[in-house]
Structure formats: structure tokens, C-alpha cells
Structure 1
Amino acid sequence: MQVVDPHVHFWDLDSHRYPWLDDPGTSFVGDARRLKHNYLPSDFLADSGDIDVLKVVHVEANHDPADPVEETRWLQSLADAGQQRGNAKHRLPEAIVAAADLSAPDAADTLAAHAVFANMRGIRQILNVHPNPLYNYVQRHYLRDETWRANFALLERFALSFDMQLYPSQMEEAAAVARAHPGIQIIVNHAGMFVDRHSVAGYREWRDGLRALAALPNVTVKISGLAMFDHRWTIESFRPYVLQTIDTFGVERAMFASNFPVDRLFASYSDLWHAYAEIVSGASDDEKAALFRTNAERIYRI
């Protein structure tokens, strides 16, 4: 199976700092203590097994926020050096989605510094805030911050997309941001992170939030990270979320991704991709090509 994987993370604990791995613990998304080790392109290729990974998009790995550009510099050096696998040389990652604090007064300078690197394509700033503090990734409602919203507009100046990681309860506000900036490509991460999945109200909030975002032509979605909320997943437990997401956005604006090595806590690389393939086995060859390869290539310009 050939794929373009639009959501992976690398880290080198020997030469860089990732605060979340300084003293990792357990949470609703798994045991981060099992991730406290280097994860480099060579490790990723070893994990890929029988999956032929054609290209990769690296999404920021919560690198030291004091120097987010250093992560981009390092990733570009990895891509330039390349990794040999058999007879093929992989220039991983082919695209970089970097970190930036859009609420900071120097956000424009950070974006300009990122933009000089050839593989730079976008920004992710995690937005996840939840009524239950257990699920918070951050402690601020960035979507409601005036400075953040003003600096969001800078992404268009630098020709950068935005990877949007949020919860369903934030989707209406996110849709307003997307509506105000039709020239900025937005990619919803992890199928909208449906965390409140044990109630009818939670399902409706996720479904309706996806619909609000999908109504905007500049918004797309990555189907990934499902195992973070379903540690004992099966193909059948994934199926309704995958199909609902594809139905909402359409085949032309959805793409599969691995979220490796985070989802490695719950699945092998091969098992994840074969599960996706089984769920959409009835799709046409063109639809499968879009979901597994060509949408990611188009959206991330690789």
C-alpha cells in the first residue's frame, strides 16, 4: 500500500528540548512515558513495515517554545540529508508544519524566520480547551484572543496553512475564524478530536461542528489520532467516525494520517493503514488515491 502520511512527529531528546517529555506522565491519550526516547526518520521508516510511504508531513512536536524555529531548522537538515531505505532515498519530511504563538507580539518575526526554509508549509498552534479541565492542552481560549486573531491573518502573507487542533465545543468559533480568512488553508487535526463520545449531546456537537467547518471551502480534515480516544480500537469502532468525517467533508477534502509515533502506543503503523483501507474498501480507485495520497500532496503542496 502506498501512502502520503500528512501527520508524523520526530524528536531528538539528545539535542533538543521537548518540555512535555521532560517528566512525562499518563493522561486520557495514553502513557507519554513510553514516548520518552528519540524518534527519528530512521525509526519511522523501520516502523512503516509493509506500507510504502511516499512522502511525509511533519507536524510540530511541542518543541521548546522559547525557540520554535530551531525545530524547523533541524527538520530541514534531516530532509536535506535524506534517509536511505533499500534502493530509495527518502527526504523526510517533505513538508514542515511548524509551531508559532500567534498571540505573541513578535509572531510576524517568528513566521518570517520559519518561512525561509524550503520545506516549510504551515503552522500549528494547539487550541484544545474543554469545559472539563482534564482535557485541556492549553489554558487559554486563543480563538477569543484579539491579538491571536489579528496575527492569524499573517499566515496568508507568508503563504502558510494552519493545522487546527481543537475540540468540537470550539468548532463554531473556529468556523468564524475560517470564514473571515478564506485565503488561508485550514486543516482540522484528528477528525475533530471527538472526546465526548459517550453521550448523544457529545456526538451531535462533534457532527454539527464538523458540518459548520466543512461548509467553508478553505477547511479540510485529517482522519488520524482516533486511537488516542479508543485505546482498544477495532476496525468496527473506527468505522463510524471515519465514514462520518468523509461524508461531511467529501472525499476531496479528507485525508488519512498516522499520528505516529503517538498512535504507536495503541497500534502498529501497518495495522492503522490497513484498518483505514478496510473501512473504505468500497470506494473507487480515484477516491482511495485522494484519501491516501493526492489530497495530502495538494493541500501541503508536496
Structure 2
Amino acid sequence: MAFDPTTRDFPPPHVPVREDWLAQTHEPVLDPTLPIIDPHHHLWHRPAERYLAEELLADLGDGHDVRATVFVQCRSYYREDGPAPMRPVGETEFVQRVAEAADPAGPRIAAGIVCMADLMLGDAVRPVLEAHLAAAPTRLRGVRNMTTSHPSIVSSFGRIPAQRLLDPAFRTGFAHLAPLGLSYDVWAYHTQLDEVADLARAFPQTQIIVNHLGGPLGIGPFASRRAEVFEAWRPAIRALAAVPNLSMKLGGGGMHLLGLDFHHGAAPPSSEALALAFRPYVETCIEAFGAERCMFESNFPVDKGMFGYRILWNAFKRLAAGASEVERSALFSGTAARIYRLEPIAA
């Protein structure tokens, strides 16, 4: 069963996608032969939006050389009955079916899967993790829980209790990841990055991937305070980079939470405009973590409300224009392949 955001008193999960608006901006594909792994996208069918294999493939086929993708949980197609902790396994079962049905000559859709398993179950999460692994034995790579929390901001996932990453029950569940060969994708706001670092230090054998540039907020009490937020976010990113089992996803700039407003324009932004807006954040992350621990991500269809797939990857290529060939390879595919244990792709 697909998650229906209209049944909850939460803000919209993202800016609505307007295909006619997106079609107004045209650009040639930059560096069209550069191999790409997109390590962060979703699949869903919600009342106001469909983004399934057909829509994903249309974006992947828009000129860039995307060889493989990683699906990240988004509360879609849960089982409709059975024990509540096991219901998210339905999402993994669904994505596995989508991946198996994909054309073998095309991009490897969901070559990696990041699932939802409630780590607050503590030790009781073990059979849930094992069920996910049974559903996608060659694709399951990790887990993500919603842990974004701020007293003044409610996300589309509802209000998350504060300091969940520090909760003993959560950490008891978290301890089961590494023994099963699973990584953890963490989505946290910039105000929580000290908790992310603490978690990573406590579990040095678990690979942790920080989502969406570490969540520099630009709404609620942080609206119109971009410079101030950046000055708080930057040292927190540098502190994260000192923890070796952390890596960073470079993307998520199209979420309303981060405060950019490209969707208010008469036409979508160009890749030059996107690169200009993203540059301080992307360059800070790459300088701190190094290209070998950073990966560009689309976060589609969430970010699609502000810009198209071709434009986004053109912007990323502009941002990496000064990087070496080795660094570019890492940013666009190598880091994702290593972190998510995907088959290497030929240049």
C-alpha cells in the first residue's frame, strides 16, 4: 500500500512536480559519456504523484550515462496486514520486483536497496532485518530510519522524538547492522550533526552515509538566515569528516526544508544557477571528506519539484569541473559503488 500523505496533518513531503514547467528549460548534456551511479532515489504511487519504473527510466534516459541506482526507503507499498514491524518489508519486496522486471540492457535500477526497519525495536529488529534480506538477498545494502528532529519543524514523516540517534533502544537495534553486513543512511538536520558523529564513533564498524549535505535548514526559524546556518553547518561537517566510517551524499537541494526557492521562478533554473547555489555546500563537503567519501545524488522525485534530472546532473558536472579524473570518477560512481558494494562500472 502506498503512503498517502493526505491522511496526515503534516506539510507536503516536497515541492509538487510540474512537468510542463520543467520542460521550459533546455540544455545539452554535459560530458555525456561520464558513467554515473545515482545513489539516492525513491519509487512511489501517491494520490498526487506517480514515480515508478516508467518515470524513473524516463529521467535516467534523459542524456546522462546513468549505469545503476540505489533505492532509498520512502514508506511505499508496505504490507497491508501482519505484524506492524514487518510491514515495511513489503516495500523491499516491491522494489525487488521492479528491479527484476527491468530491462537487463538498461540501467541497473535498484542495484542497491536501503530499507526501513525500525531500530527502536532494539534486539527485536533482527528478524525484520533478516526478512528484508530474504526479500532482496542480492540487493539489500542498508537501513534508514527517519531521525530528522527540530522542535519548530515537522517533516512529512511527522514529529520525530529528539535525540533518537542517542536513544539506547535505537542503538541496541543499530548494533545488528554491521553483523549482517548492512550500512546505515542517516537523514538529520544540521542541528543534529553532533549526534550523527557520536553514533558513528560508537559504531566504527558500521558504514554510515549522511544524506542531503547534512541537512542545512532554511525554513521555520532558519528562514532568511542562510549565512548564519552555513557558519554553524560548516564546522559540523568538518567534525563529521574526522570520523572515518562516515561518507556524504551531495544533493537534496530541491527539498523545501533547505530553503531554496527555484520553484517560484517563471521557468526552472539553469545548471549554472544550480551550481552557483550548491557550490558552497558541495565544495565544503568535498574539501572535508575528500572525493573518495562523497557521492552526488539525485534525490528524485523529491528534488524534481525544483529542477529536472538533466539540469541537476549538468550542475553536478559543473561543480566537479576542476576535479581530477580520479576524483570525478569517485564523485559520480566510484564512491557509491564502494559504499553500497555494487559492481564496478567501466569508464
* Residue type at the aligned position of 1:263: D
Number of the residue aligned with 1:5 = none
Measure, in 1, the Cα distance between the counterparts of 2:194 and 2:75.
Answer: 26
Structure 1's 50 and 209: CA in aligned 2 closer, same or farther, altered over 3 A? same
Q: Aligned pair 1:40/2:61, yes or no?
A: no
Change (3 A) 1:184 1:75: same
Cα distance, 1:91 vs structure 2: 3.6
CA distance in 2, matches of 1:24, 1:264: 23
Write the letter of the residue equivalent to 2:2: R
Q: Deviations over 1:220-273 (max 9, x none)?
A: 000011121313262211111111111111111000010011111011100000
Distance 2:6 2:106 in 1: 30
Across the two proteins, how many residue pairs are aligned to each other?
A: 284
Q: TM-score under structure 2 normalisation?
A: 0.76
Q: What is the one-letter code of the residue matched to 2:280?
A: P
Distance verdict in 2 for CA 1:46–1:136, change over 3 Å: closer
Worse-superposed segment, 125-134 or 240-249: 125-134
Per-residue deviation, residues 118-145 of structure 1 (Å, max 9, x unmatched):
2000001111001323458432131132
Alignment of 1:173-212 (within 5 A): 173-196=195-218, 198-212=225-239
Query: How far did 1:157 drift?
Result: 1.4
Match of 1:95 among 95, 112, 116: 112
Output aligned runs, 1:1-302, within 5 Å.
16-20=1-5, 22=7, 26-27=11-12, 29-31=14-16, 36-48=48-60, 49-63=62-76, 64=78, 66=84, 67-83=87-103, 88-105=105-122, 106-116=124-134, 117=136, 118-134=138-154, 137=157, 138-141=159-162, 142-196=164-218, 198-228=225-255, 229=258, 230-232=260-262, 234=273, 235-302=275-342
**Distance verdict in 2 for CA 1:135–1:46, change over 3 Å:** closer
Any stretches of 5+ residues in structure 1 without a counterpart? 1-15
For 1:12, the equivalent position in structure 2 comes to none
In 2, distance between residues paired with 1:69 and 1:57?
Answer: 17
Which sections of structure 2, spanning at least 5 residues, go unmatched?
20-45, 263-268, 343-347
Query: What amino acid is aligned across from residue 229 of structure 2 in structure 1?
Result: G
Q: Retained in 2: the 8 A contact 1:20–1:62?
A: no
- The letter of the residue matching 1:96 is I
- Conserved in 1, the CA contact under 8 Å of 2:247 and 2:294? yes
Amino acid at match of 1:97: V
* Partner SS for 1:244: helix
Q: How much is the aligned-residue C-alpha RMSD, in angstroms?
A: 2.3
